[in-house]
Each structure stands twice: as structure tokens, then as C-alpha cells.
Homo-oligomer: A and B are copies of this chain.
Amino acid sequence: MMEHRTQIRVRYAETDAQGIVHHAVYPVWFEEGRSDFLRKVDVAYSQWEQQGYFVVVVDLASRFAKPAYYENNLTVVTCLKRFRKRLMEFSYRVVDDTDTLIAHGSTRHLIMDSEGNPSALSDSFYQLVQQKMSASAEQ
């Protein structure tokens, strides 16, 4: 299963009055990991939207193991768990620079058309993404 690593440095605005990163920031980092995964595979999400495919989050789960702090250098490790024409599933681990687990989570996504109705990737786009993923995994 392919994994991609994305560097994140904690912004001051991402902390809260407990002095730690607010938990609602993690879904944003997961999304950035996912976006970065797709960019590295060379099928950037902006291309999906240009093709009329909107990938909508239907499910999110997250566990917070240790707090993160302002200026921490973190890595989001993103893994594509399932890739179907109608559905995608990603998992994530956020680790610090000693590889200690900060948080982990998963998201599930449905493919929608521009009207917000459930849709499916065309054969050709689905195969294009699969080929790019295989090529990326072999590097």
C-alpha cells in the first residue's frame, strides 16, 4: 500500500487556549496530506474538479494520542486504503520529528458530480489514476 509523507509546521493560529493544537485542525492536515498524495501521484485534486468530479468527505474518524505545539515540525503519513469508482478511503498518521505518534485517523469519500449527486469516475479517468499510482509506487 502506497504511503506519502507531507511536512507540516504548526501555525500559531492552529493552537488554542490549552496551548496545544486544536483538534479541529487535524482534519485540515489530513486533507492537506490527501491533496499532497494526489499531487505526488500527479493527479492533483484540482484536475478532478476540472473533470467535474467532486470528492466529498462522508466519514471522518480521528484519535489524538499526544498534543502538538506551535512550531512543531510534523509529518502527515497518508495512505490510500481503497480506491473504487464511487468511493475512496484514506488513512493518516501524524508523527513528530522523533516519529512519535501524535494522531491518526481515516476518511471515506464519495465521488459526486457538480450538482452534488453521487457519481462514478469514468473508466478512462479511473484507469489513468491507477496507472499514475502504479508508476508513482514503483519510483
A binding-site residues for B, Cβ under 8 Å: 11-13, 15-20, 22-25, 27-28, 31-32, 35, 39, 44-46, 49, 54, 56-64, 67, 69-71, 116
Contacts and interface: CB of A to CB of B under 8 A. Distances in A.
A71 B35 contact: yes
Nearest to A11: B32
Contact of A24 (B20, B28, B59, B61): B28
Contacts of A56: 18, 64, 67
Given A12-B17, A17-B20, A56-B67, 16 more contacts: A11-B28, A11-B31, A12-B35, A12-B45, A13-B31, A23-B27, A23-B57, A23-B60, A24-B24, A24-B31, A27-B27, A45-B71, A57-B64, A58-B63, A59-B64, A60-B63
B22 A13 contact: yes
Contacts of A64: 56-60
A92 B16 CA distance: 22
A17 B46 CA distance: 11
Contact of A62 (B12, B31, B59): B59
A20 to B, nearest CB: 8
Contacts of A44: 71
A138 to B, nearest CB: 25
